[in-house]
Amino acid sequence: MTPAILIIDGDLQTRRVLRSASDVRVLAMSSEIAGSDEVNALDSGANDYIRKPFREAELLARLRAALRIPSHGDPQAAAGQRVGRGICR
Helices (H), ranges, 1-89: 12-21, 35-43, 56-68
* Residue 60, helix vs strand vs coil: helix
Per-residue model confidence (pLDDT) at position 40: 83
Q: Which residue in 67, 65, 62 sits closest to 52, CA to CA?
A: 62
pLDDT(30) > 90: no
Tens-digit pLDDT profile for residues 55-83: 999 999 999 998 887 655 444 444 445 54
Where are the domains positioned within the chain? 5-88
Tell me the CATH architecture of domain 5-88.
3-Layer(aba) Sandwich (3.40)
- The mean pLDDT value for 38-66 works out to 90
Per-residue model confidence (pLDDT) at position 69: 75
